[in-house]
Every structure is written in C-alpha cells, then in structure tokens.
Chains A and B, each alone.
Chain A
C-alpha cells in the first residue's frame, strides 16, 4: 500500500521533472565531535605528508543510534586516551621538525638554529594552526603556543626542538581533537544563528573527504565564499570531483555497515579453516571497493548494490568464493554468472561473516542486520528468559536445518513477534555458512533459502537482493543515514519535510549517491542552527 503510493509519487515526479524548492526547516544544534581515527590519520597525512607515522592507539568510537558518526558527538577523551593523544602529538611533531622534513614542512628558517626565533615560529604555527584547528588561531592561542616553542628552544638550545613542543601543543589541543562547530548571527534571518564559514567548510570536508578542510577550502571560507550559493557550489563540486571522494564514501559505508566490528571478528579455526585475518580484511575491502566502483566510479543507482554481480576479488577471497583468481597478489574484477547464488551486497562475505556466530551461520543475526543497518528499523532486545535449546542444537535429529530449528523456536509466542520480522529475511542467506561460503545442504538436507520481507516473497539470496532493491525503506534508510552521518546528530522533528525533500530528490537524481551528498552539502538546512548558539536548552532538547 505505502509502497505503491510511494512509487506513484516517484513516477509523478519523474514525469513532471520538477525539482521542488527546499522546504523551510529547523536545522539542528551545533555539535562537538571527536575526530575518528581515520579522520585524524587522513588529516595528518594531508597536512604533513603520508610519510609521517602516527603511532598510537585510538580510543574506541561509540555507536549511537546505529552510527559511529552520531557517537562522535557523545564521546569524550579519557585519561588513557589522552595519554595516547599526547604521545602521538609528540611523535608527529618530532618527525615534522626532524632534519629530513624541516626544510619542506616548516617553511621558514630561523636566524640561528640554536635559539628561539619568534618570527619563524609564529609563521609556522599560524599556518599549521589554521589547518589543525580548521580556523585561524586567535591572538592568545598563537601567542601562548609560540611562547611554549620559544621556552623549549631556549631550554634545549635548538629552534627546531622548540618548535616540536609548540606543534605538539596544537596537536593535543581540544580544538584539533574535537570538531567544534561555531555559530554566528545570520544576517539574512535576524535573531537566528548560522554556522560560521569555517565550520561550514569542516562539515563539507568531513562529509565528502572524511578529513579536515584543505587549504583551498579554508581560503574560500576566509573570503566568505561559502555563504554565496554559487561559490559554495563551486567548492562542493571541486570536492566531489576529487579522488578523495572515495575516501569519504568508504568512511560513510564502513560506518553504516558496522565494519568496526571487523576489529574483533573471530571465526573458529577448526570449523572454518579457510577463514583468516587476511580473509576478514579482504572481505571488508571487497565490499568497500565494490561500493566505490558502483556508486562513485560508475555513478550507479544505489539500489543496484543489492543485485549487482560485479565485484572485486583477491586470490585469498577466491578460495572461499570458489572462484579462480588469476592475479597473484592484489585485486581483479569479477562478475558472477547470472545463475550464480551470489548477487549483491548481502551475498558478500563481509556481510555474511560479520553477521554470524564464530562457528555457525545465523539467520537471526543476518535478518536483524538487514532490518537495522539497511532499513534503519530497530529490532527489540530478546526477553531475558528464553530457552534457545532447539534453535542452537545443530545435532538435533528432529530439526536438521536452521529453518526447522527456527520454526520450532517461533512457535514460542514471546519470541514470535520479533523473529517473524527477522528470521524469514535471514533464511534467504542460509545457503552461506558462518564464513560466507556456499553450501547446498545442512546436515545432509537440502537448504530451502526461500523467505519473505515485508510481504514480498523470494526464493533465494538473489531474490532477497531484488526485494531489497525494490524496497523504498532501503533508499529512505540511506538518505537518513547520510544526513545523520553528515550532521553527527539525530534528525530533528523540524526536519521531516526536509528529509522528504532529500528522498524525493534522490529518486529524481536516479539514486546517485554523489548527487545525494551534493544535495545535502548545498542545502540550507545542513548549515541552519536551531536556536541561539550556546543555548543549552536547544542542545539538550536534541539529545
């Protein structure tokens, strides 16, 4: 019913070809988000070059409402975490000023190498400070940091050693480790606040490149370009055209697909002897590579990720997919035959192995992952007192396959409500074991991989992929996740019409992912701040 109404609406839009104006919406509060490990590393590599080693352990991110990106607005820095940041700061700073790098990176020479040099230290720390803080340092900040560098240079009798301490001060500062969004009165809407141009630049850059703004984007912010729609579009299009868009897309999909779980993924080595750390790493890379190729390189339709038979494999992965791979080391494209059981994201090892137990597959975990990660629905927790005995006993002579065991489990009324929602989806992937390898039978009985999702029946994994392809909820979920990822917060109640506008626009754009990012980055809502800055009521209302 809803589905057909949606399709009609899409059809009308497509026919009329109009692009309705962005509706007025509330915007949301400014956020303070801790950098992720990837953002930290990518930013350092961009500013200082990728031969600078970042050695240290990062605090784990926290997943909130399904996204680490939303969690970045909730986490802080613990004592153990700060210890690491401080040590990374000194490690990086030491390399930047060492003899190998100083001429290239410092940009000026001291009058005497064994004494403080205010002018050179100021010039360097001002330039790098802008990149690290994503805004110019104010006078106090700059002066304070130059003093640190000067004092250290005096103590150690070495200008560059002094600079190391000044730079470490910037790298350990909260202004670098947290993306602090700053606001200012909006001249076009008296009484309202908007993001400053520098904070806009950061939002754009972290969304599209997953790193701090580059020098050009910061210069555009300084000129005030970003408040001019035309010049804003020029910058957004520049970032969208860069190869770094791939880095941004990878970060988004790794977050949406819960790929941080790969860090602790373990499979039993006796049950799945072919599954190794290398397989896990390659499986994750396969999916990201396939998504980038489909969505960024070939500018494909997002919905096709559920059905596409094009992917990339390594020889290691080939062993689990049972596909010969010619390339000895590295990647090669592969297209699964039209009749193959593998089609789309859900039949890739990353998804199948991540949502299984260490020693067996799980229709329940897979069904739950599809509902939560790809359809943005919340599956309730199981009740505390459940007898799982039948489901899990893979040696029970009466119930040989997962389907039989789960059916028996579903007759328990307290379990039925949720399992009816998730198991019939996950059963479509039962032809793949806990390591993602194909199997036709379980305990000698042929596997029946038929199932249904929200009333759409399918016969196997490829059919499930087609159902996902046609499910408007999958598209709506991507749009919602992209926006929550971009802002690092929940969608505000005053943004409902805006979200509908994004979804309609996405359909009209042929479900092209870069166009969705562009639409977000050029929309007014993305930069609109609800209520005055620093109003705790506004901030708190959103939490």
Chain B
C-alpha cells in the first residue's frame, strides 16, 4: 500500500485549490463585472469568525497610526499582504459593569455576544455568527461549520443559548467527509438525479416534527427553549435534504478536492495544530466556494491558549503569566512566539480564501471574517482592547484598509457594525454599558 503523507495530501489539496481559476465554460453565467450570476442572483456574501487565544503584545501588535495607511507592527506582519482588505480594530473595551473579569472568557464572550458573562465560560446570549447565520445561512446545505485545530470539540465559541454550544469538527478527515462525502452534490455536475432515499429521509423527519406539540405541551420555559432548539436543528436538516432534491445552482469557483486529507495527529502541540488548521482552512474555503455553507467558525487555539511546543513544560497560556519580560527586548520572548505563530496561521487562513478566484476577484471580495482573541495582553487578562480584525470586502459593503482605535468605546460597537454589514436588521446590540446603537461609521459604505 502506498502511504500518503500529510504534507503530500495537503499539497494535493492545495494544488487543487490553487488552480481554481474560473472555468471558461462557466463564464457565461457571470455578468460583465463578475459580481452577479447571469441568472440574476448576486454572488453570496459569507461570514466567518477566526479565533485565537491569549491575545497579543500591545507594543508589537497595535499600529502606531490610525486611519488609512496604517503601519504594520511585527506581530501583524503575516497580514501585511492583506492590509487593504483588512480593518484592524484596537482600543475597544469589554465593559464588565462590576462583574468579575473571568480570565479568558469575559473578553471572548463580550466580543461575541455584546454582553459580559455572569459566570466563567457562560454563553447565555446568541453569538454573532448565529445572529448573522439566521439571516444569511438558512439556504445553504450547512447552516454553519465549526472547526477547531486543537483537537477538542469543546473548543467552540458558537452558541445559540446556554446548553446549545455548536461542537467543533476536530478531524480534517471527518470535516472532508461531512462536506464532500457521499451526500455532496457537485454544483457543477452536468447531470442531476434526485435520490428518492433523500425524500424518504425527509419524510421521517417530517413525521418526527409532528411530535413537537405533544412534547412541548407541559414544559417550563428553560426546557421549552432547549427542545425548541432540538426542533430547529431537525428543521435545519430537513432543509438540507430539500436542497439535495434540487439541482444546485452552479458555483464557478467550486472545485471539489479529490480524495480527502489523511488523518494525522490531532492535539495542542503547535505543529500539529498548524497542520490541522491549514487542512481545515482549505476545506472551509472550498465549502464556501461550493455553496455548502455561508457561515463558519474557526478556532485556531482555545481561549487561554493550550498550545504548546514539543519538549516544553509550559503552555502558551502558562507562559503569558510566568515568563518574565525580557529587559532588553521589552517583551516575553517565548509567549510572544506563540502570538506570532497564531498570526502566521491567520495569514495562512487569509491566503486560503484569497486563493479561490470568484467572479473577477477572490472569495475575499464576497465575505467578511472577524478574527479576534480573548484578551488584549494575556499576562494581565486585560479586556481593554481585545484585538479584532475584519478581513474581506463583504461584497462592497465595508471600507477596509483602516486601523481604528476605539478609545475605550464598548467593544459591542464592532459586533453591531458587523451585523449591519452582513444585512442583519439591528440598530442596537449588547447589554449594560455595552449596549450600543453607535455603528462604526468609518467602515460602513
């Protein structure tokens, strides 16, 4: 048996993605400027989040200049090539209103829900990807895709309510199978034959949905919400099956990766996490190009990053607290190394999206990715200025190439603005001192 190494598999997949130039015979589907399908529909706009744990080193991350033509400090270097397609947001504050600063969760939850948590790691309100997914994600095969590069399905910060945390896919092989396995329908396939078994599967679900009235009858509010979520999940699958019964609209940028990745080691060692992340980035990019989902959540490292370097007794998180600031360098060299590696992964993710040509540009033109962390400077668990970056042009709905300093404004302003860009009809978001109706007008087009 020939063994295929992870590297070879990755190369093969990347090769597949890299040659994804709009196939000539599909050009006829596009209008002159390539932004709309000739049939009438515009290219879909997608949304995703990209998370890394343990923040950054303010002196090495925050650009010195604000506005356009901002400088690229050393920790941001991997994003240099994407400067014009990025908004860097610093100095926005998670305001906790006297609640404890739960280390590594208060900042994360504030960014994603606009509210500070009452308990550590408690996601009470829907996260921003859910709110946006409810608007843009209901017509694709998957409502959203969640992945974590560090091997733990619980490393996911996408949640509709308490107890409804979307589990992350941790294996590139499982992710590949889920997206491109037997149930995948190639949008560009010449022939289409609906499978009667899909219809039957759907009829099973419709019959189960009939149980709803009886099941919900005697429930208290909390249980009702939980079972509501079960039935919404069921409906979501019904919709997925519905889509499989229709001929999918063509997707010019969709090139189905041939053969899947090979399972490699999965875990918190940074080499493993980086390799897994690279594979997952390719799969997510192609899932978007193939219209399989419009929403995704990537976790490169968990909040309170458990990334570690082989042979070291100390994880990234521990280093942020333990390592002395090097007096000559002025920062913690080992902890900072992990920040640099995290930003390198973010750069790799951006490249994976940019490698896919769509219309007369790339996937990045038709999407928005919100990258953020759990803290500003992890050593002190500071949540004043948790770093956030917005990548992509969102179909022309956002002005990019800017560094914006929030000057201590509530960090929920970012989430509010992002929702508005993505077409969510909302004019006020967040709670307590983070409730805001003030969009970041500088980036709105």
A75-B226, A81-B233, A266-B268 given; A534·B218 CB < 8 A: yes
Chain B residue with the shortest CB-CB distance to A31: B223
Q: For window 183-228 of chain B, which residues contact chain A by CB distance below 8 Å?
A: 196-197, 199-201, 203-205, 207-208, 210-211, 214-215, 217-223, 225-227
B381/A79 in contact, CB under 8 A:
no
B314/A392 in contact, CB under 8 A:
yes
A174/B201 in contact, CB under 8 A:
no
Show the binding face of B for A, using Cβ within 8 Å: 100-103, 120, 142-144, 146, 151-154, 160-167, 169, 174, 178, 196-197, 199-201, 203-205, 207-208, 210-211, 214-215, 217-223, 225-227, 229-234, 236-237, 240, 267-269, 306, 308, 310-315, 318, 321-324, 380-381
B142, B152, B161: the one contacting A264 at CB < 8 Å is B152
A155/B322 in contact, CB under 8 A:
no
B101/A32 in contact, CB under 8 A:
no
A533 at the interface (CB under 8 A from B): yes
| CA A386 to CA B103, docked complex, whole Å | 11
B146, B199, B230, B267: the one contacting A80 at CB < 8 Å is B146
Contacts of A168 in B (CB 8 A): 201, 204
| CA A180 to CA B318, docked complex, whole Å | 43
A148-B204, A172-B205, A359-B308 given; A540·B221 CB < 8 A: yes
A393 at the interface (CB under 8 A from B): yes
Q: How many A-B residue pairs have CB under 8 A?
A: 202
A83/B310 in contact, CB under 8 A:
no
Contacts of B164 in A (CB 8 A): 75-76, 78
| CA A271 to CA B315, docked complex, whole Å | 13
Q: For window 372-413 of chain A, which residues contact chain B by CB distance below 8 Å?
A: 381-382, 384-389, 391-394
Contacts of B240 in A (CB 8 A): 83
A82, A144, A358, A536: the one contacting B233 at CB < 8 Å is A82
Contacts of B153 in A (CB 8 A): 57, 59-60
21 A-B residue pairs with CB within 8 Å: A29-B220, A57-B167, A59-B167, A76-B226, A78-B229, A83-B178, A147-B207, A165-B200, A172-B234, A174-B211, A271-B311, A271-B313, A357-B313, A359-B313, A389-B321, A389-B322, A534-B218, A534-B219, A535-B220, A536-B220, A537-B220
Q: Mark A164-176, 1 if CB is under 8 A from B, else 0.
A: 0100110011110
Q: Mark A136-159, 1 if CB is under 8 A from B, else 0.
A: 001011001101100110011000
B210/A393 in contact, CB under 8 A:
no
A90/B313 in contact, CB under 8 A:
no
Give me 15 other A-B pairs in contact (C-beta within 8 A), A180-B215, A268-B310 excluded: A59-B153, A60-B165, A62-B163, A74-B226, A76-B163, A80-B169, A81-B167, A83-B240, A165-B201, A172-B204, A172-B205, A271-B313, A359-B314, A391-B322, A393-B322
B144 to chain A, nearest CB (A): 8
Chain A residue with the shortest CB-CB distance to B222: A543
Contacts of A537 in B (CB 8 A): 220
Contacts of A536 in B (CB 8 A): 219-221
A227 at the interface (CB under 8 A from B): no
| CA A263 to CA B152, docked complex, whole Å | 8
Chain B residue with the shortest CB-CB distance to A543: B222
Contacts of B199 in A (CB 8 A): 155
B324/A268 in contact, CB under 8 A:
no
A299 at the interface (CB under 8 A from B): no
Contacts of A90 in B (CB 8 A): 201
Show the binding face of A for B, using Cβ within 8 Å: 29, 32, 57, 59-60, 62, 71, 74-83, 86, 90, 138, 140-141, 144-145, 147-148, 151-152, 155-156, 165, 168-169, 172-175, 177-178, 180, 263-264, 266, 268-271, 357-360, 381-382, 384-389, 391-394, 434, 533-540, 543
B233/A148 in contact, CB under 8 A:
no
A82-B233, A384-B381 given; A165·B203 CB < 8 A: yes
| CA A246 to CA B371, docked complex, whole Å | 47
B196/A32 in contact, CB under 8 A:
no
Chain B residue with the shortest CB-CB distance to A361: B313
B162/A74 in contact, CB under 8 A:
yes
B217/A534 in contact, CB under 8 A:
yes
Contacts of A86 in B (CB 8 A): 201, 205, 237
A78/B381 in contact, CB under 8 A:
no
| CA A388 to CA B319, docked complex, whole Å | 9
| CA A540 to CA B267, docked complex, whole Å | 39
A178 to chain B, nearest CB (A): 8
Chain A residue with the shortest CB-CB distance to B229: A76
B310/A269 in contact, CB under 8 A:
yes
| CA A359 to CA B308, docked complex, whole Å | 9
Chain B residue with the shortest CB-CB distance to A535: B220
Contacts of B230 in A (CB 8 A): 76-77, 82, 174, 177-178
B78 to chain A, nearest CB (A): 26
Chain A residue with the shortest CB-CB distance to B309: A268
A387/B203 in contact, CB under 8 A:
no
B103/A357 in contact, CB under 8 A:
no
Chain A residue with the shortest CB-CB distance to B310: A270
A60/B154 in contact, CB under 8 A:
yes
A381/B203 in contact, CB under 8 A:
no
B178, B204, B218, B322: the one contacting A169 at CB < 8 Å is B204
